[in-house]
Structure 1
C-alpha cells in the first residue's frame, strides 16, 4: 500500500512540474516580415486591377507572440530589425501563435458585385486585402507553431503583410 501511495505521489509531482509554453526554455522562433505596397482600381467598366508598387522586408514592424493556446492576449512583442527579421528567444516546449497586423478593406459586398463582372480581379482582392474579418483597416496575420524540442530554432520564414497605398 505504501508503494502505491509513493508511486502516486511521484507521478503527481512529475505532472505538476510540467511547464507551460513561455519564457525560460532554450528554443527560439525566428522569421521576417515582408510588406507589399498595393494600389487597386475598382471602377466598374475600366481596367480593374491590383498593382504591386513595391515590396520590402519591413523594419520597425511590431511582431507579437502568444504563449500557449489558452487565450488571445499577446504575451510579448518584438520590433523587427533593419532587415525585417525578428527573434523570440528562450522559449519552452509548447504551442505559440506569432502574429502581425496587415492593411485590409472589409467591403465584401462590393467584392460580390465585382465578382460578377470580373472574377479574376475579385479573387486577387480576396486573396490580398479584402477580408471579412477586417476591423478598422487592419486584419491579423497569424502563424501557429509548436516547439517540440529544446535547443532548437524554428524558422517561420516570411510573414506577408499588405500596405494599401491607394484605392482609385
Structure 2
C-alpha cells in the first residue's frame, strides 16, 4: 500500500475480487478444481480489502481532527463497527430471504431454480456489491499526498499547542 497507495490497492483488489466472484457463476458442478482455484484467487484478492478499509478509517479520523480541531476516534470507530454489524445482519437477512424465495429446502434435492439462485448468491450478487463499493471508492479523496499534508499539519499543531 505504501508504493501504490491505499485507494489504488483497494480499487485493484476490489476489481479482481469482482472478476473472481463472477467467474463462479459460469462453473459447472463437475469443475471442482476450478472452484478451489477461484476460491483461492478470491481469498487472495479480497483479503487486503478489510485491513485497507480500517486503515482508511484512521485516515478519516486524522482528516476529521485536521478539519474540525477535535479527535473523534471513538465515535468514528464505534460508528464503523455499528455499520459493520448492521451490514452483516442485513446480508444474512437478504441471503435467507433469497433462499426462501428460491424455494430452498434443506436435506433435499434442489430444483433448477433453487440451484440458479444459489449460484447467484455466491457469485454475481456479492460481485455486484463489490462493484458498487469499487465505484463508491472513487469519491474517496484522502490519497497519500493529502494525508502527508494533514499529518504534517497535525504534528505541527500538536507541537505548538
Same fold (TM over 0.5): no
Sort the TM-score into its range (normalised by shorter chain). Answer: under 0.3
Higher-Rg structure is 1
The structure whose residues are more often helix, as a share, is 2
So what's the TM-score if we normalise by structure 1?
A: 0.24
Q: Which has the higher contact order (CA 8 A, sep 6+)?
A: 2
So what's the TM-score if we normalise by structure 2?
A: 0.24
The structure whose residues are more often strand, as a share, is 1
